[in-house]
Amino acid sequence: MPLLAAITLRSPADWRQLVELVRPLAGPLASRGTPLRVMVAEKRASRRLELNAFMWAGVLDQIARQLCIGGQWFSAEAIHEYLKREHLPDRCAKGIEKWAYHADGTRSLRMSTSDLDDDEFSDYLLAIQGHAASEWGVVFTDRDEA
């Protein structure tokens, strides 16, 4: 299942939003034998460069070391391109659209992770980690352990 939402808990309204999201999903999924998976992470006030370094060394490099599909290994750069297409928002806070549409009917990725603000980038990092763990079985280790 793809990431359904990333919620930053700042107020009682955010808690209600979390409960409203989980309540209708948890029971039906569990009864089908596919329980809902909830991931919780501390929201850190980090600078952009620290977050970007974490994305490459803490996330993408770990995925690249573990992800082999059909006998083929992929670079961190290739994984990054795929995950951007899957998990960048349709529009970021700066108003940039994810896709550029061309006259021949094709589209190309317009947005970059550098277009995201810190909250959006943190949400993106959680989404790609969740994708890698749930879809590809990637196990993340602390950077100090790796």
The answer on 29 and 64 residing in a single domain is: no
Residue 125 in domain? yes
The answer on 88 and 27 residing in a single domain is: no
Q: Is residue 62 over pLDDT 70?
A: yes
Residue pair 136/130 in contact by the 8 Å Cβ criterion: no
Indicate which CATH number applies to the domain containing 70: 1.10.3790.10
What's the pLDDT score for residue 21? 85
Residue 90 amino acid letter: D
The answer on 6 and 71 residing in a single domain is: no
The answer on 92 and 71 residing in a single domain is: yes
Residue 52 in domain? yes
The answer on 50 and 34 residing in a single domain is: no
Residue pair 104/96 in contact by the 8 Å Cβ criterion: no
What's the pLDDT score for residue 146? 42
Q: Is residue 145 over pLDDT 60?
A: no
Rounded to an integer, the average pLDDT of 45-60 is 81
Domain span at residue 50 reads 46-136
Spatial neighbors of 145 by CB under 8 A, at least 6 apart, are none
The answer on 61 and 129 residing in a single domain is: yes
Spatial neighbors of 36 by CB under 8 A, at least 6 apart, are 22, 25, 26, 29, 30
Rounded to an integer, the average pLDDT of 48-72 is 92
Residue pair 122/93 in contact by the 8 Å Cβ criterion: no
The answer on 22 and 1 residing in a single domain is: yes
- The tens digit of pLDDT for each residue in 100-130 reads 999 999 999 999 999 998 889 989 999 999 9
Residue pair 97/111 in contact by the 8 Å Cβ criterion: yes
The answer on 87 and 24 residing in a single domain is: no
Residue pair 68/75 in contact by the 8 Å Cβ criterion: no
Residue 141 in domain? no
**pTM score, whole prediction:** 0.66
Q: Is residue 132 over pLDDT 50?
A: yes
What's the pLDDT score for residue 30? 84
The answer on 127 and 63 residing in a single domain is: yes
